[in-house]
A and B are shown apart, each in its own frame.
Chain A
């Protein structure tokens, strides 16, 4: 067994084990910690697949930002003393059935699909090519994603902000109905 295979199986074990802990741990804080471990393992897989930019982005965005966001949410919402309450709903059986069936279908189709593995050498300077593609061929999706991120930023602030005077949370105001619809609603109620 060569080093590549060994590294793959070590990382695969790490990712799968910590993913199972993420979904089954009773303490949600432990779930967050194991999520960081699983995401780091995925970054290792990206390095093995020669996607160095993505590995760096994975560490920066997932391990750095999203995990911190998750831990913030855990700290702000759940009480650590809540450990003894049930952490799963009544759908454990059907959830196992659905995910197991999905796994069986995917693995079956994977086993029966012939993949044409290319024998060309791996392109040098993939990071440079990636940057060039983002600003030439994929420039429209790139800009759309940046607008999406801006919208998500503003939306998150609007949703979670508090009133500066009373300290209460300010839910987004309901959109008023148009005049014609308001009249129709009033008539139907009267």
Chain B
């Protein structure tokens, strides 16, 4: 039986076989003998989640544009499939050609979320590769990128190299070097030496880490003779209009989370919310030109048959000519019945009217993210939104026929008090009052406010990177305070989760290399798909911490001194440490920092050539 037949023989025994079928319209097939580099791209979560990810689409496209390389996709098999694969000796395989991953040249893994890390170990294991990079004498080089690569240390033992920043150019740079290395016949270790000069490339095995007696990091220094830089700068693509962007897409058979055309209108964000890692690490703002976006939209609609285009970015309302773009898109695609959608926040009325005609989404939900319950705390996090703004948005929405509103908050933000937490209830109450102040004839029936509060996780390269996460006891106490108060408000629901998952997320977000042992232990104990409620086993994780002698609170809840060496201090994400320190000081004083389109705030990204000109 061939591998393909073996895979087929399992399809009727697993949930959602469409996850493993492959062969979708738009997937790229090449002849193995025609290419010299085979690249397996792993999204370490399910097919439905991974196929909704824009970064994978961009890299898949840009690698496959090369005649000398073939990029194929891999997703984490769900637990039922993993078990069947192990029982039947089926190695991890790519969807396109169903080739075992261990036969590839490079295995690229995107790090979108810390809670997918056990899936990475599971994938390496299923591929038949030793988990630790030091133990791998053959098989693909493992490279990781994506937002979580900015603190790569917990994964350092398992990964050959990381790439920080934009992948459109850096991916080609290391593929080119790989080709040269392969042709040269030099030993395996030489490849890593050959790529350390590429901007964005970080080879963790080239650094020595030493620790102080109290467990904090003393130093991280490049090993002599490796050529590794003392400070790794991120890769940066300055011109997004000229950068590669997919002109065709894979159209999945099954339903996936975002089954539509995703058009990235710009990268980066100028607002400077202090809790937001994306807002810091994707700087500076780079817009794609309107002409290019319209051209891409046209091609993608024809190539995919999708009937919806989503205008994507961190804050789409900030695109400099959004009304023009939206109007033009709506006009061009009206006949083809293609809906244009963008996040409903911060849309002025005129724009809302333009989009209303084609938007397929029923007028039921408006989502707003005040993030914090009081103005004081919103100022601390630099969320430049006032209560007035919020009430105006909500009033507009109710007057235009919306009847339900979702409000997103975070609990445990730095400096948060019980009063701040109760401010969430206060806001919900005011939203309710606004609804009932709209005359009955004008408002839609079915009032509902859903208040969601997640637990704040401090992230590297944000002004809150020194903060300890709020402990579980306080989180639970504040959740209960809010829950009790909200239960008295008719039509208002409160959604919250146990703090365990956010706590674990913080240990990885803020952790160092010693977290690698915990990760491997948890994987061996059976942890998988930790971001999925039905799979998450906090008890096993606690056991893993205990067995490895690592204290999770050291990373998650401990506040770090401002002069402590942080695990990611040898990496540079664009924003400077001076800027982050200054922002942290301002946060504690409740001072705002303005949107940097209104004038440079000195975040440090100008240190990069060609950035912010």
A binds B: no
A contact set with B: CB distance below 8 Å: none
Residues of B in contact with A (beta carbons under 8 Å apart): none
